[in-house]
Amino acid sequence: MTDVPTDTVAAGTAERIEMRERDFAARRRRKNLLGRIGFWALIVLIAVFLLFPFYWAINSSLKTESQLRMTPATFIPRDPATGDIAITFQNYDAVFQNPTFINAIKNSAIVAVTVTVIALVIGSFAGFALGKLRFRGKTPSLYLILSMTMFPQVAVLTGLYAVILNFDIPAIPSMILSYLLFTLPFTVWVLTSFFQQLPMDLLQSAQVDGATPFQSFRMILLPLTAPALVTTGLLAFIAAVNEYLFALTFTTIEPDARTIPVAIALFTGTVSRQEPFGEIMAAAVLVTVPLIALVLIFQKRIIGGLTAGAVKG
Amino acid sequence: MAVATEEKPKRRRRQSKLAKGEQRLAYWLLVPTLVVLVAIAFYPLGSVFYSSFTDDTFASDVDTNFVGFQNYSDLLSISFVELDPELDESGQPVIDPETGEPQYESPVEALPREPRRYRNVFTFGLFGNQYVLGATDPDFILSIFDTLIFTVSTIALETIIGLGIALVLNQPFRGRGVMRAAMLVPWAILTAVSSRIWEWMFIDTRAGFFNVVFQNLGLSDGQTPFLADESFQLPAAIIIDVWKTTPFMALLLLAGLALIPDELYEAAEVDGASWWSQFKSVTLPLLKPTLAVALVFRTLDALRVFDLFQIVFAQRKYSMASFAYYELIDSQRLGYSSAASVVIFFIITIFAILYIRSLGLAEDD
């Protein structure tokens, strides 16, 4: 930054400048060290904030009933008498032998997978039309879909439940159908923007070659949008697994159809006693670990999908 | 020449045929989506509107009657009454010997009882007077207040903490990838699961994490009933929601930060701008669009909060949505619950319109 001046008169000034620069550098280093410590303290604080509750669930899931009742609560499972570390897997055994819970996993899988597939199929049709075709009424359709992504589910709860009771629709198909309320508009919205970004050249050359619009959709656009479908599908799947209001309401008179969130919320344990928190925490860990694994594997896609709509403004 | 002029209209006809085909295809492709939305959104919404004007109930053979706006007036009637200070025999106001505050008549006496009974929602002091807010359905009015407080507090905290986390994680450092992955953990945990984990952490004995912490800090005897005590309920709900959704906010903001070109910061650095003025004049304005979208989605989400309140509080504290749920399932009052749903729908719609308006303005800037 500072060129050494050749002028001898200025040499003293240059030296002084250099000294001051060195002084600054030292001060900056000291400040940097403090800053770095502060920075890493912040990182640790954020990590604890993000992960501690899940750690507490794991910790509690590895404790026996008497260890859970120990006061004050211990940060790792300890033997009440000796204070040694003592881990038990009995809560996990109990959860695995809990037919309600196993059934709930099955129900959730059926509901979430079916909803995701239907939303992707129907949604990619609509997304293609809105993203690539010219037709009258396109702008109102887009606004309709966007406003539907903000639709409050509770507003139609009584109406849907009345229909379901009137026509005696079983809980699982009811959930599949009603979950399209929040998965479909979202899927259409994201896929529309993906289709919009796709280059038109391929489509045009296919048209020149005499392909019908549907052929070009099936043979060119769909393979190209496979990554987008994976991202949207994952987000729709997670949203469907997470849904609680409809699931709780529709399974009121059909407990066998309960999904994971409902089963966890109403967990009663194998032996009837009050709030078996050890088992609840074990169940919590068991359903969370695969979800976290899924999310971490597809990390980049999920972050991309979540931020796609927002960042573009 | 003659051939060319003949060719033109022909091609146009062919093109318009193609365009017509495209239009027809577009409509066919949209049909399934529209059919589904009509079946599960518009038709049920219409039937909710309709039954909100009836006294329809589940599981009963009683005939359904059209009751007009009765449900709405039962839900929403409120009355503000000034409470008179209590006077002793000599006409002097009674002072509570413990608190030194003047005593007031009880809200029950002050609130109207005819033709309908108003019950106490809350009392508050203003300009030295004491007032009571009464309502024919205090649970619903309170659920609206609580949901609004919940929404404003969670959104404010999430935005501030989320922005802080995003700014920290936007720095280059070793382990950034790990931290980004860690951010997805609260997001990936099901709301029902996180509600139960926090319910256990908030449990009212020293077996719970927060009671241990509170006792160690000397703030309580380790028996605080966080989830049953009125003064801790909303703060607890806010903490649970902030934990679950702050990472989402931080991820969105992080993506927004990545879009800000480095040159802007370099230029600011050369100009000798401090960190704070860089933040104020570069980061914040350029982050505004991202922030705005994130705020819209989070606000509309928070207003319809259900899982957390239903699981953690059951009927000890209602959100708007959990109130509608309990009216439907526990009380079986289809008409009344529908009216509550319609009110919720309008509240959320008003927020959505206001937000989208202000977003539109933000884009014009």
Provide the chain B residues 20-59 that lie in CB contact (below 8 A) with chain A.
21-23, 25-27, 29-30, 32-33, 36-37, 39-41, 43-48, 51, 58
Shortest distance, CA B298 to any CA of chain A (angstroms): 10
B166 and chain A in contact, CB less than 8 A? no
Residue appearing with tokens 């570390």: A85
Q: Does B165 touch chain A (CB under 8 A)?
A: yes
Q: What is the pLDDT of residue A13?
A: 63
| Residues forming a β-bridge with B54 | B66
CA A52, CA A44: separation in Å to the nearest integer? 11
The length of chain B, given as a count of residues: 365
8 Å CB contact of B208 and A163: no
Residues of A in contact with B201 (CB under 8 A): 53, 56
Cβ of A73 within 8 Å of Cβ of B207? The answer is: yes
Instruction: Say yes or no for a CB contact (<8 Å) between A162 and B41.
Output: no
List chain A pLDDT tens, one digit each, 313 residues: 444 444 444 556 666 666 666 666 666 666 678 888 888 999 999 999 999 999 999 999 999 888 888 878 888 898 888 888 888 999 999 999 989 999 999 999 999 999 999 999 999 999 989 988 888 889 899 888 888 888 889 999 999 999 998 899 999 999 999 999 999 999 999 889 888 887 777 777 877 888 887 787 778 777 888 888 998 999 999 999 999 999 999 999 899 999 999 999 998 755 555 688 999 999 999 999 999 999 999 888 888 777 765 554 3
- Mutate: best of A50, A292, A298, partner B, most B CBs <10 A: A50
> What tens digit of pLDDT does each residue of A188-225 get?
998 898 888 877 777 778 778 888 877 877 787 778 88
CA distance B220 to chain A (A): 13
**Pairing verdict, β B78-83 and B119-126:** unpaired
Phi and psi of B9, rounded to 5°?
-60, -30
| Contacts A70 to B, Cβ<8 Å | 207
- Would an 8 Å CB–CB cutoff place B85 in contact with chain A? no
- Whether the CB-CB separation of B303 and B293 falls below 8 Å is answered with no
Contacts of B251 in chain A (CB under 8 A): 303, 306-307
Confirm if A234 and A301 have CB atoms less than 8 A apart.
yes
Q: Whole-number mean pLDDT of chain A?
A: 85
CA B186 vs CA A21, A63, A229, A288, B263: distances in Å: 46, 23, 24, 10, 34
Q: Does residue B306 belong to the interface with chain A, where contact is any CB pair within 8 Å?
A: yes
Q: Give the pLDDT confidence score for residue A69 in this predicted structure.
A: 83
How sure is the predictor about B206, in pLDDT bands with cuts at 50, 70 and 90?
Answer: confident
A-B Cβ pairs (cutoff 8 Å, strict): 287
Give the tens place of pLDDT for each residue, B66-79. 888 999 999 998 88
**CB of B308 within 8 Å of any CB in chain A?**
no
Q: What is the pLDDT of residues B35-57, one digit of tens each?
A: 999 999 999 999 999 999 998 88
Q: Average per-residue pLDDT in chain B?
A: 86
Q: Measure in Å the smallest separation between the Cα of B1 and chain A Cα atoms.
A: 26
Q: Helix crossing, A157-166 with A171-197: angle to 10°?
A: 130
Q: What value does the CA radius of gyration of chain A take, rounded to a whole number of Å? A: 29
- Distance, in angstroms, between B344 CA and closest chain A CA? 7
Q: Evaluate whether A94 touches A270 at the Cβ level (below 8 Å).
A: yes
Residue of B nearest to A186 (CA): B33
CB contact under 8 A, B328 and A157: yes
Judged by a CB distance cut-off of 8 A, whether residue B187 touches chain A is yes
Closest CB to A284: pick one of B36, B47, B193. Answer: B193
**3-state SS of A60-86?**
HHCCCHHHHCCCCCCCCCECCCCCCEC
d(CA B140, CA B151): 16
DSSP letter (8 states) at residue B283: I
B70 touches chain A (CB under 8 A): no
Minimum-distance CB partner of A43 among B179, B196, B297:
B179
B119-126 and B129-135: which strand pairing? antiparallel
Q: Select from B40, B45, B242, B296 the residue whose CB has the most chain A CBs within 10 Å, as the one to mutate to test that interface.
A: B40
Mean per-residue pLDDT for B263-274?
Answer: 83
Q: Cα separation of A223 and A220, whole Å?
A: 6
Whole-prediction pTM: 0.87
Interface predicted TM-score (ipTM): 0.87
Check the CA dihedral B98-B100-B105-B111 and report its sign. Answer: negative
* Contact at CB, B201 and A53, closer than 8 angstroms: yes
Q: Which residues of A touch B209 (CB under 8 A)?
A: 56, 73
Per-window interface: B 257-296 vs A, CB < 8 A: 259, 289-290, 292-294, 296
Interface test with A, best of B53, B159, B196, B219 (most A CBs within 10 A): B196
- Considering CB atoms only, which of A50, A68, A307 is closest to B255? A307
Beta-carbon separation of B321 and A245 below 8 A: yes
Chain B residues near residue A311 by CB distance under 8 angstroms: 252, 255-256, 259, 289-290, 293
Dig out the tokens for A47 from the structure: 């990590």
Scan residues 231-260 of B and list those with Cβ closer than 8 Å to A: 243, 247-248, 251-252, 255-256, 259
Dump pLDDT digits (tens) for A50-78: 999 999 999 999 998 888 888 788 888 98
More confident residue, B305 or A23: B305
Identity of the residue numbered B245: T
Q: Is B37 exposed, middle or buried (0-12, 13-18, 19+ CB in 10 A)?
A: buried
Compute CA B119 distance to the chain's CA centroid, rounded to the nearest angstrom: 25
pLDDT, residue B258, reads 85
Nearest-neighbour CA in chain A from B29: distance (Å): 5
Q: Give the model's pLDDT for residue B185.
A: 92
Cα B102 off chain centre by: 37
Q: Which residue of B has its CA nearest to A129?
A: B26
pLDDT value of position A1:
42
Q: Any bridge partners for residue B93, and if so which?
A: B87
Query: What is the spatial distance between Cα B147 and Cα A208, in angstroms, rounded to a whole number?
Result: 57
Of the partner residues B165, B207, B348, the one whose CB lies closest to the CB of residue A71: B207
pLDDT of A14: 64
A265 CA: distance to closest CA in chain B (Å): 6
Q: Is the torsion defined by CA of A163, A167, A172, A178 positive or negative?
A: negative
* Phi, psi angle pair for A218, to nearest 5°: -75, -40
In eight-state DSSP terms, residue B66 is B
Q: Which residues of A touch B228 (CB under 8 A)?
A: none
Residues A91, A62: contact at Cβ < 8 Å? Answer: yes
Q: A228, A190 in Cβ contact below 8 A?
A: yes
Contacts of B132 (CB under 8 A, 6+ apart): B80, B81, B83, B107, B110, B111, B120, B121, B122, B123
Burial, A207: exposed, middle or buried (Cβ in 10 Å; 0-12, 13-18, 19+)?
middle
Query: Contacts of residue B26 in chain A, CB cutoff 8 Å?
Result: 129, 133-135, 138
Handedness of CA A279, A281, A282, A286 (dihedral sign): positive
Q: What are phi and psi of B327, to 5 degrees?
A: -65, -35
Residue-wise pLDDT tens digits, B97-124: 777 777 788 877 778 877 778 888 888 8
b/e code B170-209 from CB counts within 10 Å (16+ = b): beeeeeeeebbebbbbbbbbbbbbbbbbbbbbbbbebbbb
Using the beta-carbon criterion (under 8 Å), do B26 and A135 form an inter-chain contact? yes
Residue B13 pLDDT class (50, 70, 90 cuts)? low
User: B129-135 and B78-83: which strand pairing?
Assistant: antiparallel
Q: Any residues with CB less than 8 A from the CB of A233 and at least 6 apart, and which?
A: A116, A119, A120
Measured between alpha carbons, how far apart are the two ends of chain B, in Å? Answer: 53
Q: Which of A90, A84, A76 is nearest to A278 (CA)?
A: A90
**Calpha distance A148→A129 (Å, rounded):** 17
pLDDT score for B365: 40
Give CA–CA dist B157/B153, Å, rounded.
6
Distance, CA of A204 to chain centre: 37
* Cross-strand partners of B129: B126
Chain A residue numbers touching B216 (CB-CB < 8 A): 72
DSSP labels for B36-82?
HHIIIIIHHHHHHHHHTTB---SS--SPP-B-TTHHHHHHH-EEEEE
Q: Residue B289's closest chain A neighbor by CA?
A: A313
